[in-house]
Amino acid sequence: MFLIVGLGNPEKKYEKTFHNMGFLAAGDCAELLNVKFKKKECEASVAEGYLGGEKVILARPVTYMNASGRAVKQLVAKYKISPEELVVIYDDYDLPKGHVRIRPNGSAGTHNGMRSVIAELGFSDFARVRIGIRDPEIEIPLIDYVLSEVRREDYDLFSSACKRAAEAAISLARGENFELVMTKYNG
């Protein structure tokens, strides 16, 4: 079994913001698995699919970003997910816009949602797929930036990045070699 969680904020007003890249990528994962988010459980919207006979749970926490860890902790407990079976997809201000970076573990960096996930789980050795959002042309406070809408001229770039992030997460769930997935999708 595998759990892929896309981080974001649940309200419609946040739908097109930088902070919802994880939600968008989770939606792309659902398309790749040909499933829909129909179920609500563990403070998350959930979709279930299969890859090579193995169950894959896709989740979008319905908490706000800063409390995402609650949903992840509940899902990990319910489905008895080990750290090797968890992938979290999220936006990352520390990466240039449109870049995708896969890592097997690490810190939360500047991301409060990941800080919540790590604090709730009590461990950080799980895969993360980060989608870069930093635009050096925009100079506003970080909290205002992540909650602002993606500029129309950048929509295709971010749409492509979310699709690549989803493909990377699905590759990991499929059991592909981590180093090869990193080589293929990082950058």
Say what the pLDDT of residue 142 is.
83
- Could you list the active site residues? 19
Domains and CATH numbers, the chain: 2-185 (3.40.50.1470)
- The per-residue pLDDT for range 124-174, each reduced to its tens digit, is 999 999 999 998 888 888 888 888 889 899 999 999 999 999 999 999 999
Q: Go through the chain and tell me how many residues it has.
A: 187
Distance of CA 71 to the CA centre of its chain: 13
pLDDT digits (tens, 9 = 90+) for 33-64: 999 999 999 999 999 999 989 999 999 999 99
pLDDT tens readout for residues 172-184 = 999 999 999 999 9
Whole-number pLDDT of residue 146: 85
Q: In what order do the strands lie in the sheet with 54-61?
A: 39-41, 44-51, 54-61, 2-6, 86-96, 127-134, 100-103
Mean pLDDT, rounded, of the chain:
94
Predicted pLDDT at 114: 94
Name residue 92's beta-bridge partners: 132
| CA–CA separation, 96 and 25 (whole Å) | 17
Residue 12, CA distances (Å) to 7, 20, 26, 59 in order? 14, 10, 16, 17
Answer yes or no: pTM beyond 0.75. Answer: yes
pLDDT of 106 reads 87
